Amino acid sequence: MNGNEVLRIVDSIHRDKSIDKEIVFEGVEQAILSAARKHFGEEEVIEVHIDRTSGQPMVKTNGREIDRDELGDILGRISAQTAKQVMIQKIREAERDTLFDEYAQLRGQIVSGTVTRNEGSAITVNIGKAEAILPRSEMIPGESHRPNERIRAVVLEVKKMGPRVRVVLSRAHPDFVRRLLELEIPEVNERIIEIRSLAREAGYRTKVAVSCADSNIDPVGACVGVRGARIRNVGEELGGERIEVVRWNDSLQVLVPNAMQPSEVEDVILCPMLGRVLVLVRDDQLSLAIGKRGQNVRLASKLVGWDIDVMTREELDQQLDQAVVAYSQIPGVSEELAEGLVSQGFLSFEDLSVIEPDELMEMGSLTQEQADVIVEYAERESERIEKEQDLRRATEKAERQSQEREQRRAEEARVSSPSVESKVPPAAESGSEASVEEAAGNKS
């Protein structure tokens, strides 16, 4: 085996396949080793090494070095075929690893590609050196893509699947919006404006909280752009998704009202023990604060990282009174402890059932046994109330279904049974009128 030929093969594979030379040398060594084992047998101790400078292979068996002529006789037709198969396998693995490393670095970044085909639950996208898939679950709801269409998506996952690399794309992930904002807004890309938090429900609405260290720059205005041009471009890429940009603040008392926009917030009450925020709004702002199907408060909760409960002042006062009365009935809970629990935001037995016994012991100067009794009582009451609510919902559902069935039956009966008037022939109607006239004439 000629050393110069080995070097030429290694260099050619390195340039054509972008595979590191050391990996190619190892592949050649593995191929020669496989061929030698086929000749000498698996029991022999065989060592193979290729000089990285001259390309000359050296083979030892049981410590004895094999000369070049003997090595050439050993690597005959069958052995050469074996070596070729091993070499091809090694190159394919190296290609896969190189491709994996390349796309793994793009995880979370935007890539552009061309749709090649639809496969039911996913579409295949050509992104250059690899074909990626965009699952239906990672598409924006309601969108569809045709072959040869250019699309952009974020690289969600990269993994090895046998000899191939599987790249999974997403247009529904929050990072897709984040990267689009970086592309559209130079200040975000240059980190002058920082995206502090982002909450998204793909296809419907996204809330973004931004901040800027330079007090002379309005981060919200810079992101929105002149007449909303910048944020509108992002929304159009997302199929008309609504993008709301709010100002970030480290204080929840300020951040929560910002996150609850466009509704107006009257007051914010923090409940640190429960990781909850009570947001008080006026009656005319309640539906706006909650949003359609709870979307506004749900996104605001994701944005700030705390659970948010929205209610009016009257609803809060009512819940406070009910909670104090309910807690006072628990064995071992004094009125003072009940008021202390309510002041910390524990407004239901469900809330009380998740309290840490140590915190309860500290609040009421209780023993471990007393705290356990209170928590167990709250758990039982919570389960009982939940069952009652489930039963009530099931009953209401059954009643609604019964009413709907009755309405359908009445509608079907009305359609299938014509009115009495429509059954009387026109001639009969005119005849009856004539008879009445004749009777009137006879009387006269």
Model pLDDT, residue 439: 46
Task: Write down the CATH superfamily of domain 315-388.
Answer: 5' to 3' exonuclease, C-terminal subdomain (1.10.150.20)
Pick the CATH number of 106-170 from 2.40.50.140, 3.40.50.150, 3.90.79.10, 3.30.70.20: 2.40.50.140
CA distances in angstroms from 172 to 109, 136, 201, 205, 297, listed in the order given: 13, 10, 8, 11, 20
Residue bearing the bigger pLDDT, 383 or 73: 383
**Helix ranges (DSSP H) in 41-145:** 68-74, 77-104
Pick the CATH number of 3-97 from 3.30.1480.10, 3.40.50.300, 3.40.50.1820, 3.40.50.620: 3.30.1480.10
Model pLDDT, residue 54: 79
Q: What is the pLDDT of residues 261-316, one digit of tens each?
A: 999 999 999 988 888 999 999 999 999 999 998 999 999 999 999 999 999 999 99
3-state class (DSSP) for residue 379? helix
* Percentage, residues of the chain above pLDDT 70: 88
Extents of the domains making up the chain: 3-97, 106-170, 173-248, 315-388
Topology of domain 173-248 in CATH is GMP Synthetase; Chain A, domain 3 (3.30.300)
Burial class (CB in 10 A: 0-12, 13-18, 19+), 284: exposed
Q: Using CA atoms, how far apart are residues 284 and 303, in angstroms rounded to an integer?
A: 24
Model pLDDT, residue 81: 56
Q: Is the pTM of this model over 0.85?
A: no
Q: Does residue 257 carry a pLDDT above 70? A: yes
